[in-house]
Amino acid sequence: MACTEVVVVCEPARSQAEAANARLIAAGSEFAARAGAKLVCLIAGEGVAAQAATFAHYADEVLVADSPLLAHFDPYRLLGIIERVVGERKPLAVLFSHTHAGIDLAPRLAARLRVAVASNCLDATFEGDTACFTRLVYRGRLHAKVAIDSRPIIATLQPGSAPLPSRSTPGVVTTVAIPPGKPARARPLRTIEPERTGVDIAKSDVVVAGGRGIGSKENFSVVSELAAALGGVAACSRPLVDMGWFGVERQVGLSGNTVKPKLYVACGISGAIEHLHGMRESRTIVAINKDPDAPIFRVAHFGLVGDLNEIVPEVTREVAARRAAPASPQT
């Protein structure tokens, strides 16, 4: 396979974009290595020079388009930039995160180039010279392997936390021109910024999530107390967001956030496929549910059957006691 480039289209660091970029760069780096290709990051926006310099520690090259014209998401202008990069550099692949921006841009690019696109992929690899992707179908109920023969390969990858590849020397940062274009065909009328909670559940090593089984909003305190005792963050399943108890920044699942912590504790969560999609890659999963047949137990490494409002406080007390106990002297 001839050495070429794999371009990953990163997003300005807002909301969940930072975690999405990490997963995209990590997956793109592995994909490029398997293809014997260079990894190139493309970042476009206003005030993204510092972010581009950070990406240079993880890629062979960073292409940056920094302009007030890109202060707001404009798919037409962004698509023009990406098309120019593809036309000039002839990359093997162009990869996006499966975010609102990636879902918008990837199929537009594929349609312009008349090639295939694989969306919502869990991984990307090669079988011989054929690019293969594992993607979710039927709302995550099944996994399908798809092969793409067209070039460039275009795909969107599921966002989530991931360790970034380290480099001994930073890659080069190159400024790319913004193609002249007509006034935006779509313009924002109002930007609603998400509430700044200071918590990014996708980055935490310990996540304790509560679901409908907690019974009432007041009972959620048992989830928060266990999360605090473990040094982690509290999260929730979609029903609690739908009821207005929490914002989507706390939600784990297909329509919320994908997490991959060292420890995930599910309290009163039955385990709908949409929720499992957002946490099943956790290193250790503990489920607490009064229904022994709940689907969550199928993916859990450890399970406790019973009333979470009785079990969780006991677990919290045990965790706190063990943390407070003096360390045993080594012999």
Give me the tens of pLDDT residue by residue for the chain, a chain 331 residues long.
Answer: 455 899 999 998 754 556 688 889 999 999 999 999 999 999 999 999 999 999 999 999 999 999 998 888 888 889 999 999 999 999 999 999 998 899 999 999 999 999 999 998 988 888 888 899 998 777 667 789 999 989 999 999 988 767 777 778 889 999 998 887 666 677 778 776 666 666 788 889 999 999 999 999 999 999 999 999 999 999 999 999 999 999 888 999 877 888 889 999 999 999 998 899 889 889 999 999 999 999 999 999 999 999 999 999 999 999 999 988 776 665 4
pLDDT at 65: 95
Q: Does domain 5-175 have CATH number 3.40.50.620?
A: yes
For tokens 């930072």, the residue is 18
* Start and end residues for every CATH 3.40.50.1220 domain found in the chain: 201-324
* Start and end residues for every CATH 3.40.50.620 domain found in the chain: 5-175
- Tell me the H-state helices in the chain: 17-35, 49-55, 75-89, 100-113, 221-230, 238-242, 273-277, 308-324
- pTM across the whole model: 0.77
Distance CA 57, CA 61 (A): 9
**48 near 64, Cβ under 8 Å?**
yes
pLDDT at 262: 95
| For helices 221-230 and 308-324, angle between their N-to-C axes, nearest 10 degrees | 20
Question: What CATH number was assigned to the domain covering residues 201-324?
Answer: 3.40.50.1220
Q: Which residues pair with 285 in a beta bridge?
A: 264
